[in-house]
Amino acid sequence: MKLFEESKIGMLSLKNRLWRSATWLGMANKDGYVTDAVKKQYKKLAEGGVGSIIVEFTNILEEEKTYPGILSISSDSHIEGLKELADIIHSNNTHAFIQVGYGGSTTSIPENGRVILGPSAVKNPGSGITPVEMTEKDIEKIIEAMAQAALRAKKAGFDGVQIHAAHGYLYSQFLSPYFNRRMDKYGGSIKNRGRIFIETLKRMKTTAGSDFPVFIKMHSDDEWAENGLSAEDSLWIAKELEKHGIDGIEFSGGNIDPQSGNGASKPKLHKVEKQSYFKDQVSKIAAHLHVPVILVGGNRNVKLMEDILNHSNIRYFALSRTLHAEPDLPAKWLTSPEHKPRCVSCNNCWAEGGNICIIDRKKEKQI
Ligand SMILES: Cc1cc2nc3c(=O)[nH]c(=O)nc-3n(C[C@H](O)[C@H](O)[C@H](O)COP(=O)(O)O)c2cc1C
Ligand code: SF4
């Protein structure tokens, strides 16, 4: 198997095995609408040769905002701009997906009186925020908002949605015994902690149609946290999702504390031994799954990715920072597989007013 070969997921024909992992650009306007700056970035990505693009984390409820400049899919009025985005992505024979989720206590925006929900009132080690424990009514509200978001994604012409259940946001908190201390049917056993996942998937499929693809991004384990999600529980929920019709799983991981240097976006990846850093635990889980598995985290080397492809059940590779710094990296790899990515994994991607790679920010200053 090769990185640059066609493959199928359900009815979708993918031109290569590379995905752009959801990457928050922070370029939407204050109400979460698509701007020209957002369109420009996605045009570059689509022209750069990646097979499928997952548009960044979008919020599903108007009152919820995880980061400044986050895109929104919380009302029908957002559909028009999102449709323009999907059309831009499609114009280069690239598939368009969009990530949906609820941030909760993992946020960079101060509380300032807003209600931040969580499975339990457990202080977030990253933000320091203690969320309000959700009632069953709150859980139902989130599930319905996720389903409506999937329907809007379909109306906007996307090929599917991705549930954001990684990186310490609400869904990943439900799975983790560290964050989820509930005593009701949404806490305790993995069956209970994963209940919101299955209910959300089912509702999305009934609302947007059983043939509308739903993917998920989740952790292969949370072993950074004492009492975090175990690899066994991750496999258990992945198999349940598979039973209930999930169309693909992107596996990530890492500490949710941005200061730890050990998060989902690990630094200093020059040596190949440091790259594709979740491959070992994800390979173990993928061996038991039939749905397509996408590996994210430090994928920077064609030979390594093809080795993983041919020695495991991992079938796709998602890239975030390398495409952020170099949207045409897939096109370069197609002709020169030895090409070294421009991204130096310095983790200086975040900037006020829009996340532009630091190399480009420096260049702009020099002009
Ligand atoms: C600027 C930036 C924004 C990100 N935004 C998102 C996001 O919206 N959704 C998400 O699931 N992950 C997000 N991530 C994490 C990446 O998708 C990815 O999982 C992680 O960076 C590891 O992949 P990489 O080594 O290819 O960068 C973001 C990462 C960066 C650097
Ligand atoms: S800022 Fe650093 S980590 Fe981010 S894309 Fe640029 S080189 Fe890569």
Ordered domains of the chain (ranges, CATH): 7-366 (3.20.20.70)
Please name which ligand lies nearest the alpha carbon of 216: 1
Cα 238 → chain centroid: 16
Residue 219 CB–ligand 1 contact under 6 Å: no
Residue 158 CB–ligand 1 contact under 6 Å: no
* 106-110, 134-138, 319-323: least confident range: 106-110
Find tokens 């009701």 and name the residue: 184
Q: Whose CA is nearest to atom 6 of ligand 1?
A: 23
Q: Whose CA is nearest to atom 6 of ligand 2?
A: 357
The Cα 281–Cα 10 span in angstroms is 26
Please name which ligand lies nearest the alpha carbon of 354: 1
Ligand 1 centre to CA of 105 (Å) is 18
Count, residues in the chain? 367
Higher-pLDDT residue of 21, 362: 21
The residue type found at 251 is F
For residue 87 the two structure tokens come to 């059309």
| Bridge partners of residue 160, in order along the sequence | 97
Residue 190 CB–ligand 1 contact under 6 Å: no
Phi, psi of 184 (to 5 degrees): -95, -160
Checking if the pLDDT of 327 tops 70, the result is yes
Q: Whose CA is nearest to atom 7 of ligand 2?
A: 343
For residue 319 the two structure tokens come to 């890239």
Checking if the pLDDT of 259 tops 70, the result is no
For residue 4 the two structure tokens come to 């640059």
Residue partners of 367: CB distance under 8 A and separation at least 6: none
Mean pLDDT of 124-136: 94
DSSP track, 126-155: TT---PEEPPHHHHHHHHHHHHHHHHHHHH
Find tokens 């421009």 and name the residue: 342
Annotated catalytic sites, by residue? Answer: 169
Half-sphere exposure of 180 (CA within 13 A, CB side): 27
Higher-pLDDT residue of 35, 257: 35
Ligand 2 centre to CA of 360 (Å) is 9
Ligand 2 centre to CA of 143 (Å) is 34
Ligand 1 centre to CA of 176 (Å) is 20
Instruction: Give the three-state DSSP class for 163.
Output: strand
Checking if the pLDDT of 273 tops 70, the result is yes
Q: Whose CA is nearest to atom 8 of ligand 2?
A: 343
3-state DSSP: the chain helix, strand, coil percent, rounded to 5? 35, 15, 50
Beta strand 117-118 pairing with 248-252: unpaired
Could you give the maximum distance between any two Cα atoms of the chain, in Å?
A: 59
Per-residue pLDDT reduced to its tens digit, 278-289:
999 999 999 999
Ligand 2 centre to CA of 56 (Å) is 17
- Of the segments 102-111, 247-256, 329-338, which one has the largest average pLDDT value? 329-338
What pLDDT was estimated at residue 263? Answer: 86
Within a 10 A sphere around the Cβ of 112, how many other Cβ atoms?
5
Checking if the pLDDT of 92 tops 70, the result is yes
- In our burial notation (b when 16+ CB lie closer than 10 A, e otherwise), range 145-167 reads bbbbbbbbbbebbbbbbbbbbbb
Distances (CA, A) of 344 to 6, 25, 269: 29, 18, 7
Residue partners of 204: CB distance under 8 A and separation at least 6: 146, 147, 150, 161, 163, 212, 214
Residue 60: exposure state from Cβ atoms within 10 A (0-12, 13-18, ≥19):
buried
Residue partners of 239: CB distance under 8 A and separation at least 6: 288, 289
Q: Whose CA is nearest to atom 2 of ligand 2?
A: 346
The Cα 156–Cα 85 span in angstroms is 9
Residue 319 CB–ligand 1 contact under 6 Å: yes
- Provide residues with CB under 6 Å of ligand 2: 321, 324-325, 343-349, 357-359
Please name which ligand lies nearest the alpha carbon of 346: 2
